[in-house]
Amino acid sequence: MNRREYLAAATGVAAVVAGCAGGGGDDASAAPSTDGGTASTTASSTTRDRSEEVALDTIADDLDTPVDVAFAHDADRQYVAEQRGVVRVLEDGDRRSTPLLDLSDAVVTGYEAGLLGLALHPEFADNRRLFVRYSAPAREGTPDGYSHTFVLAEFRVADDGLTARRDSERTVLTIPEPQSNHNAGSLAFGPDGYLYVGVGDGGSGDDQGRGHVEDWYDAVAGGNGQDVTENRLGSILRIDVDDRPDGDPYGVPDDNPLVGEPGLDEHYAWGFRNPWRIAFDGEDLYVGDVGQNRYEEIDEVRAGGNYGWNVREGAHCFGADDCVDRTPSSVRGGESLIDPVVEYPHSDAAVSGVSVITGNVYRGSAVPGLRGAFVFGDLRARGRLFAAEPRSDGEWPTRVLPVADGDADALQRVFSFQRHDGELYVLGSGDDGGGVHRLRAV
């Protein structure tokens, strides 16, 4: 069974999360990547022999492909995004029958499309501003033959925090999506107050085909990951949703790396294939970039960083026997292609999978043995999570983080993580449907 078939069988419409998935290395026709010059040690040789188990406290179950969760700043309340276009409300441990927001009639679903992410404004307790990322039917101005439209929108939530008005929708950003996959979807406010937005490379395979532009790298055709001038695909964007000059839908921070330079000002970092989930640990930004056929990666993101796609998949040459480790001097002065901090293969290793799901550094107290570890997962979880030991330099050692037998079935597939008050929450599904779970010690 190839990866696309696995994802379709495993998650059905939910393969959205294969958004991570679809994104992820699922292109059956794609040319295999080949190892080359800048290859780093893979997870199979860096895995440490530690056997902590974690258990799950279920916060909510019987959910329909829960892909993201946000925690209210002023109440014991969580908002859960279901791929089909519904935002559920969990309050005081119970799920309310009335959703916060129902966009199901406005959202394109299937495989990797749908409601893909949400974030609360840092001042949500006072301003009730909710931001969501969803796939919409192709809007006016979308080129012929394109699949759909990427929409980032803002809604206003009622004072009681229980409903959001549909008529309050304000479109912040739209991007024409040429293909149905590699939609990314993650939103996160940074400690600087700006909104960070993950955007995939436009889909299909190899970063080639309809909607994929030419770039500086001639060894492999395409693509959007290495281009910052023609579109906003294959990047992490950074925008200002508070200071909007001249009535624009958003502003651009003055210190974004391409302000005053050739390129679109919204770009913060680039060279990504399908950055499904992003997360902040203090000022440190992490993204899991879903690979194509061989490797998954987690990157520590810095402003102006180039993370290699489609020159490389992970730290390995893609589509060529040899590859460069930096752009030519004519391209932004010759920038280095940055290695991932975590890389793992699709097979033949203890830490392996098909679509990386970024987690975060554990800062809580419920699992003392995990403090300081970076916890993450894979769409094809099969009852397992993973942990990495952050280092100041080089690739991080990784290990399997087993889930207690009684809880493992709830994580046959992992869709997302969020951190709240230091504790980690994982969104996944098993035979009994989707759920939101908090990690705890066994």
Question: What is the rounded CA–CA span in Å between residue 414 and residue 412?
Answer: 7
**Tens digit of each residue's pLDDT (9 = 90 or more) over 43-84:** 443 443 344 799 999 999 999 999 999 999 999 999 999 999
Backbone angles phi and psi of 45, in degrees to 5: -100, -5
Inter-residue long-range contacts of 87-93, CB under 8 Å, 24+ positions, other chains counted: 87/115, 87/118, 87/132, 87/164, 88/60, 88/63, 89/161, 89/162, 90/59, 90/60, 90/436, 91/162, 93/59
Phi, psi (rounded to 5 degrees) for 164: -125, 140
**Residue for token digits 């290395």?**
25
E strand or H helix that includes residue 46: helix 43-46
Determine which of 210-214, 314-318, 362-366, 418-422 has the lowest per-residue pLDDT on average: 210-214
Instruction: Write the pLDDT tens digit of every residue in 258-275.
Output: 999 999 999 999 999 999
DSSP state of 104: T
Please give the Cα distance from 81 to 416 (Å, whole number). Answer: 11
Task: Yes or no: say if 356 and 409 are a contact pair by the CB < 8 Å rule.
Answer: no
pLDDT of residue 10: 45
The domain segmentation of the chain, as residue ranges, is 3-41+78-356
User: Is beta strand 94-95 parallel, antiparallel or unpaired with respect to 101-102?
Assistant: unpaired
Across 372-396, b (16+ Cβ under 10 Å) vs e yields ebbbbbbbbbebbbbbbebeeeebb
Q: Which amino acid is at 67?
A: V
pLDDT at position 281 over 80? yes
pTM: predicted TM-score of the whole model, two decimal places: 0.90
Confidence of residue 428 (pLDDT cuts 50, 70, 90): very high
CATH number of 3-41+78-356: 2.120.10.30
Closest CA to 354 of 300, 417, 296, 308: 296
* 184: amino acid identity, one letter: A
Q: Name which of 2, 7, 34 is nearest 378 in CA terms.
A: 7
